[in-house]
Chains A and B, each alone.
Chain A
Amino acid sequence: MKFTDLLRLVLSNLGRRKGRVALTAVGVVIGTASVLVLVSLAAGLQRSATDQLWGINDLSVIEVYPGYGDVAVTESKMGGGGGGVGSPGQPKLLTPAAIAEIAALPNVERVMINDYLQAQFVIKAGKMEGYGGITGVDADDLGTLGIPLQGGTTRLDKGTVIIGSWVPRNFYDPTWRPGMPDPKPPDLLNQQIKVVMSRFTQDGTEVKKTVTLRVVGIFAETRGPADYTIYARLEDTNAWNEWARGVRINRNREGYAMLQVRANNPDNVLKLADAINALGFTANTPQAVLEGVNNFFTILQVIFGGIGAISLLVAAIGIANTMTMAILERTREIGLMKAIGATNRDVLSIFLGEAAGIGFFGGLGGMLLGLVATSVLNVLSSAYLSGQGGGMLGMGTLAAYTPAWLPLFTLVFATLVGLLSGLYPALRAATLVPVTALKYE
């Protein structure tokens, strides 16, 4: 039997009992729609979670911190070599030797040292005072961080700083009193800020030091730690830290706070992070976190999809029931088909086709209903969130997100469910003895 003939026959057979087919398909419509909506909800949650976690951050960058665990293992493996402090049980510090060791790893594009200003300080911009972390970096150009600029330049010279997008928001007017209008965040680009540091001498006297810095660039929002960081040159922060402590800092003994290691290719990031971890350091990658988050949400999608699939299972029983009834009613017709030359396979194909057809049409209806339902859900949730002011905090992302593959998947799945539920009745029909079927009353 030709496929087109089979298709026509199946369609005309389904058309013979429209009411019953439609009622059976309603079950599939509900099941398919619930699978689509629930998986879309899980995918939407995943999207908004990953968006908020990592925003537009560069996925090629690995943050490396000193290693405090597994030191003994690493030391024995490394034979005491590398940049760490020699004896087992001691942490693996980010000393210049260790940095050279990491820089020599394959897939490393560049290593950037990060060190924090560890002093008490206040930042002043005109009348306003602010706070924020000051991080020293050993780079002339912060373009390597991969963060887009809101304004200014990425070029970092001695005596200049580049600030994160939220830094201006952390400035306040010390003379502000309740009742006065809220002060606006200062426009810091190309302005001078003063960092007033203080330390106490051994006799308890407070000593202050003021440095004037020029803001040469502002980064765009990353929704990450860079947003509230003030980047300065490493030699500047080093000098200020030494002033604050009152002694020279030996980096071979103390190491640096953190390294930003950039991989030559985003695909190599996890491999490189593993290599750095194997050396005994602690490597964090947004990718690793992202992977964990994604794994969690994939499981959530499967669970949500499974809940939706329960209603599809109920629909499948409905299809099986309808097909069993149809076969009882059409037993003589099956006998006739066999008498005029239909093979068992022909009969099987016809009844499987009818069951799959119910699944397909139900799936089609369910897919459309599901798509409409997710759109309605999104409209409602964005209306609710904007009412809550959530949109301002970047919470205005969609409640449900339907990946491109999902509608097609649900349609194929519903058709398969139909096909499988028709299997037993169709097999029964196909194996009927022709003469028994013809004599069936």
Chain B
Amino acid sequence: MSDSVLVRCRDLRKIFVMGRQRVAALDGVNIEIPEGSLTVIMGPSGSGKSTLLYLLGGLDRPTSGSIEVAGEQLEKMDENTLAVYRRQKVGFIFQSFNLVASMTALENVAFPLRFSGIGGAERKERSRGLLRQVGLENRSHHRPTELSGGQQQRVAVARALVNRPAMILADEPTGNLDTTSGLGIMRLLSDLHRSGKTVLVVTHDPRMLHYATNRIFLLDGKVVTEQEYQAAITSMEELSMEGTHQ
């Protein structure tokens, strides 16, 4: 694990315009993510954590501020360069898996390699190796509908790794899974981190914090300390408890 910084955000803002309202999903975020870390971004719904992840992954553009990943400024990239960045530097894992229903597990894992122009034989070889790594070697010819939620998410993890990215971005990866499957995915992400990958997980599942080497807490689009976050969560819980008693 090295101490160098892989991601650096400066005064990051993302403002959504909804009708006449302007909503600041991110409001002046400054963070640094060390290379080789397992960073967990915690926050309740609407805190802006997914928005932050999408900005870091180059899926959206900030309203203002800068994002530097491995020395490159994302906000200055054109559409094409950004696509190449997503292809080469990041691997995404989504809450709803986002597998292509008509493709087998193996084809789903190999899908990103088609856009990299890598030949069929190498595509198969790499994908098989990754399916073995996530424990789904014997499921490679099954379609998503023939797999459990946990298995589908493992396929998605394998797909995220296939381009050998510098950074894995996971958006609520356990959100659609039962407790056991969720735990399995957390362990898998932790294993990836131990093998040297930089992993960023956006979640509101506190169990994930056990695996984290770096923690970021978000409330209303702003980075807060763990104490501030816990205090806010406790008061929110108390409020909702009062609501139920009334």
Q: Is B57 an interface residue (CB 8 A)?
A: yes
Does any Cβ of B come within 8 Å of A225's Cβ?
Answer: no
The interface-forming segment of A76-84, A234-242, A272-280, A337-345 is: A337-345
Q: Can you name the residue of chain A whose Cβ is closest to the Cβ of B116?
A: A341
Q: Does B220 contact A (CB under 8 A)?
A: no
Known contacts: A339-B92, A343-B83. The answer to whether A9 contacts B114 by CB under 8 A is yes
A322 to chain B, nearest CB (A): 17
- Given the complex of chains A and B, what is the CA–CA distance between A338 and B85 in angstroms? 11
Question: What's the minimum C-beta distance from A331 to chain B, rounded to whole angstroms?
Answer: 12
**Chain B residues within 8 Å of chain A by Cβ, number:** 24
- CA A340 – CA B112 in complex, angstroms? 5
Complex Cα gap A13–B159 (Å): 20
Q: In the complex, are the beta carbons of A344 and B114 less than 8 A apart?
A: no
Interface of A is mostly: helix
What is the minimal beta-carbon distance from A10 to any residue of chain B, in angstroms? 12
Q: How far is the CA of A335 from the CA of B57 in the complex (A)?
A: 13
A82 to B117, CA, bound (A): 77
Within 8 A of A (CB), among B89-126: 92, 94, 98, 100, 102, 111-112, 114-117
Is B87 among interface residues, defined by CB-CB distance under 8 A? yes
Docked complex: B128-159 residues within 8 A CB-CB of A: 159
Mask: chain A, 332-362; 1 = CB below 8 Å from B; 0 = not? 1101111111111110000000000000000
Nearest-CB residue, chain B, relative to A431:
B79
A344 touches B80 (CB 8 A): yes
Let me know if A16 is at the binding interface, CB within 8 A. yes
CA distance A381 to B88 in the complex (A): 65
A16 and B102 contact, CB distance less than 8 A: yes
A344 to B83, alpha carbons, bound, how many Å?
8
Residues of B close to A339: CB separation below 8 A: 57, 59, 86, 92, 98
A: contact size bracket: 20 to 34
User: In the complex, are the beta carbons of B79 and A340 less than 8 A apart?
Assistant: no
Chain B nearest CB from A341 CB (Å) reads 2
Per-residue CB contact flags for chain A residues 421-437 toward chain B (1 = under 8 Å, else 0) read 00000000000011100
- Interface contacts (Cβ under 8 Å), in number, total 66
Which residue of A is nearest B58, CB measured? A434
Residues in B whose Cβ lies below 8 Å from that of A12: 102
Considering the complex, give the chain A residue whose CB is closest to the CB of B85.
Answer: A341
Known A5-B114, A433-B60; judge A342-B100 contact (CB<8 A).
no
- Which residues does chain A contribute within 8 Å of B198, judged by CB atoms? none
Name the contact of B117 in the complex, choosing from A1, A345, A434 (C-beta under 8 A): A1
Check if B88 sits within 8 Å of A341, measured CB to CB: yes
| Cβ of A438 under 8 Å from chain B | yes
User: Which of A16, A340, A434 touches B115 (beta carbons < 8 Å)?
Assistant: A340
In the complex, are the beta carbons of A438 and B98 less than 8 A apart? yes
A345 to B57, CA, bound (A): 20
Q: Which 5 A-B pairs have the closest CB atoms?
A: A341-B87, A340-B112, A343-B83, A435-B60, A434-B59
What are some 26 contacts across the A-B interface (CB < 8 A)?
Answer: A1-B115, A5-B114, A5-B117, A12-B102, A332-B98, A333-B100, A335-B98, A337-B115, A339-B86, A339-B98, A340-B92, A340-B163, A341-B83, A341-B88, A341-B112, A342-B83, A343-B79, A343-B80, A343-B115, A344-B79, A344-B80, A345-B80, A346-B83, A435-B59, A438-B59, A438-B98
Interface residues of B (CB under 8 A from A): 54, 57, 59-60, 79-80, 83-84, 86-88, 92, 94, 98, 100, 102, 111-112, 114-117, 159, 163
Residues of chain A touching chain B, judged by Cβ–Cβ distance below 8 Å, are 1-2, 5, 9, 12-13, 16, 332-333, 335-346, 433-435, 438
Known contacts A5-B117, A9-B114, A340-B163; can you find 5 more A-B pairs with CB under 8 A?
A335-B98, A338-B59, A340-B87, A340-B111, A435-B59
